[in-house]
Structures are given as C-alpha cells and as structure tokens.
Amino acid sequence: MLKSIPPTVISWGSLSPPLKKPKSKAETEPAKTTVKIAKIAIIAIVLIIFIKSVKVVKQTDKYVIQRLGGYHATWGVGIHFLFPFIDKIEKIVNLKEQVKDFDPQPVITKDNVTMQIDTVVFFQVTDPKLFCYGVENPINALENLSATTLRNIIGDLDLDQTLTSRDIINTTMRSILDEATDPWGIKVNRVEVKNILPPKDIREAMEKQMRAEREKREAILRAEGQKQAAILTAEGEKQAAILRAEGEKEQMIRIAEGEAESVRIKKEAEALGIRLLNEAQASNETIQLRALETLGVVANGQATKIIVPSELQNLTSILASVNTVKKDN
C-alpha cells in the first residue's frame, strides 16, 4: 500500500549559488609575491641563456659549430651568437703549432737489432672541419701512424745506418706523415728523432769502441805534439846558431874595421909627420934626434933587445948636436 509523500516547497533563493566573500589583503599578498619571483626567475634564465649564447673567438682558435646534429659553420676570430638548444660547439680547435712527444717505440733494424726510438712531431691544424670529422681522436691516430712509419723506415736500415742517418729518418717520416694526415686537416711541419737506445750489450760494445778510438786519437795527438815540439826546438836552435854566427861575423867585421881604421890613422899621422919634416927642411941632426926619441919609445916597451942603427952608434956626437940644436932654438 502506497504512502503519500507530502509536497516539498522549494524557494528560488535556495537555488542560487552562495555569494563568495572578498579575500582579504593578507590572503592575496603571497600570490603576488610568487608571481614576481617567477617573473624574476624567468628573466634571469633568459639573461643567462643570452649571455651563454654570446661567444668571443680568439685569434688562435676556431670553433666548429653543429646545428641540429650536423655541421653548420666554422667560427673565426670575433663575436658570434649561438642559438640555444639548436646550435652546439662541437670542438674548439687550436691553430698554433703543437708539439707531441710520443713514447719510445720498439723497432727492429735490418740486421735484427731491437732498439727503442722516441720521436717528437711538430704539427698544425689547417682545416678544423676535417680535424673534427676526419678521424676519431686525431692525436692518437697521429701517434699510431708515426710508430708504424718509424718501424717501416728502420726496417730498411742496419744498426750503423740507423745511428748515423737521423736526418734521413726525420725527412722521410715528415714526408710520409704530412701526406697521410692531409685528410685529417693536419699539417706535419717537422719530425725529430729524440733518442735512439740500442740494447745494453751493443751499448757496451760501442762504448769500448769509442774508448779505443779516443785512446788512438790521443796517442796520435801526443805523437804529433812531440813531433811538433822537436821540430820547433830544432828550428829554434837553428835560428839561434844563425843569429850567433851572424853576431860573431858582425863583431869580427867591426873589429877588423876598427883595426883598419887605426892603421889608417897611424899611417896618416906618420905621413903627416914626414910631410911636415920635409916642409920644415930639417937638418940631419934633427932627424937623428927624432930617431933617438923613437928609439926611446921603443926601449920603453917590453922588448929585451934593441938593434941600434949604425947612424946612431956615435951617441956622443948626437948628444952634442942635440945640445947645439937646443941652444939654437
């Protein structure tokens, strides 16, 4: 049996939504602060991205740029803009000449001698794009290529040629490496063999040989020195004898010239005396007196015997004549 439901009275006021109360200032302030912080963060992020996107390339560098995974450009010196999330710096390439000192490599010579040789390679990147995309790890590839090239060159040389042909090895390696690294954008300027280390027994034998050579050269030099010393001594004695003989010759010439001059002066004096006597027309008594004076000079010497001329035997008459001459004077 159905029960009757009493009718419900619904008013229009109850169907309208309830009115919201206005928020207070304290409730709206945190929301405004959050919005400001978000705006500041967005601006800061944009500024950071912009600053990071501006790139300054130095003169010694090149930048290889990728765009969406592919090569795009190579940047040189100056200011450039990198588009965020689109462009990427794949590699920064140094254009200066670089030096790589590779580890010693074991090589075998033509006469089956194993030695250690280390090389120094001077190279320069000429094409950044090829350097970036030409080969994986170009420096490692250059080292391996240098090692294999060195083994090929040394394999055609024996030990003595290897030790004495550094210039040939350097030139050959530079030519081969430069040609092989062209597809990698690398220019090999110079290759130098730094050290050549033969086995210990060969080094000892070489040291003995060098010691013997040094001793041989020393003996030769000593003998040459003694020979030169003997030659110089003989030359000195010869020159001294010549100078001594020339001195004695000069002395004898001077003595002879002095004696000749003395004789000449004496003769001139005697001639002058005779001439004066002749001019004075001296008497016999005067001449005998001069002879007597001369006899006295002779007697005053060291002679023990005097020969008296016959004209002077009558000394009494001579003395009388002398007295007469004196009185006349």
pLDDT digits 0-9 by tens, 163-221: 888 889 999 999 999 999 999 999 999 999 888 888 777 777 777 777 888 888 888 88
Which of 270, 235, 251, 107 is CA-nearest to residue 173?
107
Domain at 98-198, CATH class: alpha beta
Average pLDDT over residues 216-231: 87
CA 98 to chain centre: 24
Average pLDDT over residues 286-297: 61
For residue 9, what pLDDT is reported?
46
Q: At what angle do helices 200-280 and 284-299 cross, to 10 degrees?
A: 150
pTM of the model: 0.52
Angle, alpha carbons 254-255-259 (nearest 5°): 115
Q: Could you tell me which residue, 49 or 123, shows the higher pLDDT?
A: 123
Q: Could you tell me which residue, 36 or 148, shows the higher pLDDT?
A: 148
| pLDDT band with cut points at 50, 70 and 90 for residue 10 | very low
Ranges of H-type helices in 69-109: none
Q: Where are the domains of the chain?
A: 34-93, 98-198
Burial of 79 (0-12, 13-18, 19+ CB in 10 A): exposed
CB atoms within 10 A of CB 173: 23
- Could you tell me which residues are beta bridge partners of residue 75? 63
For residue 55, what pLDDT is reported?
86
63 sits in which H/E element: strand 61-67
Token pair recorded at residue 172 = 């050959």
CA 100 to chain centre: 24
Average pLDDT over residues 10-19: 48
CB 132 within 8 A of CB 91: yes
